[in-house]
Amino acid sequence: MREIIFDTETTGLDPRKGDRMVEIGCIELVNRVATGAVFHAYFNPERDMPAEAEAVHGLSATFLADKPRFADRAAELLDFLGDSPLVAHNAGFDFGFLNAELDQCGREAVCLSRMVDTVKLARVRHPGAKLSLDALCTRYGIDRSHRTRHGALLDAELLAQVYVELTGGRQIGLELAGAPADQIVAAMTVVTRERVFRPARPHAASEAELAAHAAFLEGIKAPLWTGGA
């Protein structure tokens, strides 16, 4: 099964108010194992970069000025995404920006049925716990010491590890990596079999066994069950 883990960086919180996507990072998983295939791009938002947004991801208007527009790489991005499920943390946010950018360049939106939200998965798995990416990395022992700022590709790499843990743990990937497809299907499928009831087998002691047991009891001096007499 192919899945894409992705993250975005933006100029703000709401594409309906003119905010734009400035970075996207995508990681390919096949059967919960990273293949090494990635898509990563910066985009010129053709607008200013608010100071509060730059403080989060460190991407300045000057840095982005010579980067391609989203429309220039949209076809390449869509080819990488294919028809796979798309996994993101607080996925509604990332889908909102992705589809807003696609709309601006006259392309069809990505169907929301493909959306997998790791915040929702974590809320079910860990009710009442902190659900930020940092908190989940800490919970699962995932090293994030190199994450000094938000970055789309780095965050997608961390999220890929979190997603594997949320959906069964590292052992799934270790055991199934490189396995034939039929073995993977067998390993991830629960098979229900009809329970067969068989009549009880005879288990009474034979006459010889009973006689041997009685002789053994006769040889015990002052048994407890007779009061020790």
Residue 155, marked binder: yes
Select from 142, 195, 210 the least CA-distant residue to 170: 142
Q: Is 7 annotated as a binding residue?
A: yes
Is residue 150 part of the annotated active site? The answer reads yes
Q: Please identify which of the residues 126, 150, 203, 213 carries the catalytic annotation.
A: 150
Place of tokens 């938000």: 150
Task: In the chain, count H helices and then E strands.
Answer: 10, 5
Burial class from Cβ neighbours inside 10 Å (0-12, 13-18, 19+) for residue 15 reads: buried
The residue to which tokens 């949320």 are assigned? 166
CB-count burial class (<10 Å; 0-12, 13-18, 19+) for 139: middle
Q: Is 175 annotated as a binding residue?
A: no
165 is in an annotated binding site: no
Q: Is there a binding annotation on residue 72? A: no
- Residues annotated within the binding site for a divalent metal cation are 7, 9, 155
Instruction: Give the active site residues.
Output: 150
Binding residues, by number, are: 7, 9, 52, 57, 155
**Binding residue positions for substrate:** 7, 9, 52, 57, 155
